Amino acid sequence: MCDQDQTDMLPGSAPGTVTGAGQDGRLRVYARIDLDALLHNLSLIRDSIDPGTGMCCVVKADAYGHGAVEVAKAVTELPYVKYLAVATPEEGKELRDAGIHSPVLILSPSFPGSARTVVENDLTPTVFTGDQLLLFSRLAGEYGRKIKVHVPVDTGMSRIGVSPDDEGLSFVKEAYGTPGIILEGLLTHLSRADEAEPVFSSESVDQFREFCCKVAESGIDIPICHCSNSAAVHTISNSNMDMVRTGITMYGLSPSSEVTREDIGLRPVMSLHSGISYIKEIEPGTPVSYGGTFEANEDLRIATVGAGYADGYPRTLSNKGYVLIRGKKARVLGRVCMDQLMVDVTDIPEAEVYDDVLLFGMAEESSVAGGPAGSVPKAAKDGVGDTLGELQGNKGISAEELGRLSKRFNYELVSLVTSRVPRIYVRNGRAFLIKDRFGSRRL
């Protein structure tokens, strides 16, 4: 390999290493994952909890679309991150296969067919029925090991868990005495902590704390009692117990319209980019895209963009959304296709084929200046363009704004960016890794 600084190369420029790159090395679409922003967000969250309170970083759903392995590697460097959390045993196994040894909590029930995956990978399941206890007790004996479990308590979510009453207490006692089982934790999930006045969830916290006290009074010592989710960390002061679970806020997104990232000082971690593949001029009466739902009423200059709903750009943004090209808004024309979409660049005469197109997130310097699509932007190398509060106007398109336009949820937008979209990871202001489902390489 030559001595050229590879951060100055175009992602995909090494032949055959990144599927989807064009012949000149430019990528059709990519998601930039700013790990500096991730660590900044965790630092802010850490500053808002007691020094003795641990943190559980939620990396389920491929870290909300950001890439579970790389996110987990970054956050487990922090001494106060005590646990990772996933939704399924298979997600936990992915972390183990990547060499990540931190404790991993499975937030959802583990189906019997995946129980061996739990045990073989030293994962911590949530358990709240007798059948679950028996299954893991049997497997503990079979594998000759102890299995740590956490018991969820239902305080108003009506999803999973035991009730915070005598019946629930009986189950906790049963779990505590079950052979092969180590009862490490109790948890609850707050269903309305993201409200401006979280009265309901405050009452849920009180219920949970009272239940934990009853468990302690019965002679059972539970090392980890936890109930705070991302919103509760900031809205319910007495919810931060032995550990808090941070999910959406560590990715720099708002828990809700009532508890916003601006309130907390967060920086979005993901931005989604594509490029112009073609530009043409159309006359009045010319239809655009499937079904002809848009028809030009004047001469227009339109650009085809190399991203569609199979990449995670919502089809509900058809005739509603907009993108940024050279720092200017370009409205989406017609229906969003599976792999492409069309936008109006009539008022952006300087727009050219292969210009960067920002679909959502923070604008890179190259996006504003018109740098080539798929190149490692200067902002990715030097940390430019991440000033808090610039996700407006020509500086960016927030996931919250795009969610409003598409009638979807900001959680959905990042989580549903598909696996064929390469993720370019940035650390210390420089891009260092590109990964997609076809492979990965260092930059």
> What is the set of active-site residues?
60, 290
**Whether the Cβ atoms of residue 436 and residue 20 lie closer than 8 Å to each other:** yes
Site of tokens 């999803």: 159
DSSP-derived secondary structure letter, 355: B
**Whether the Cβ atoms of residue 273 and residue 324 lie closer than 8 Å to each other:** no
Residue 442 has φ and ψ, to the nearest 5°, of -80, 150
Cα–chain-centroid distance for residue 9? Answer: 27
Q: Which of 352, 369, 356 is nearest to 11 (CA)?
A: 356
Number of residues that this document lists for the chain? 443
**Whether the Cβ atoms of residue 147 and residue 139 lie closer than 8 Å to each other:** yes
Cα(212)–Cα(221) distance, rounded to whole angstroms?
A: 9
Cα(304)–Cα(209) distance, rounded to whole angstroms?
A: 56
- Return the HEC string of 124-181: EEECCCHHHHHHHHHHHHHHCCCEEEEEEECCCCCCCCECCCHHHHHHHHHHHHCCCE
**Whether the Cβ atoms of residue 373 and residue 276 lie closer than 8 Å to each other:** yes
Cα(435)–Cα(84) distance, rounded to whole angstroms?
A: 21
Residue 205 neighbours by CB under 8 Å, 6+ apart: 155, 190, 227, 232, 236, 238, 239
Cα(386)–Cα(325) distance, rounded to whole angstroms?
A: 18
Q: Which of 280, 371, 378, 267 is nearest to 327 (CA)?
A: 371
Angle (nearest 5°) at CA 5 between 351 and 2? 120
Nearest-Å Rg of the Cα atoms of the chain is: 24
Q: Which two tokens stand for residue 154?
A: 């239902």
Cα(437)–Cα(419) distance, rounded to whole angstroms?
A: 6
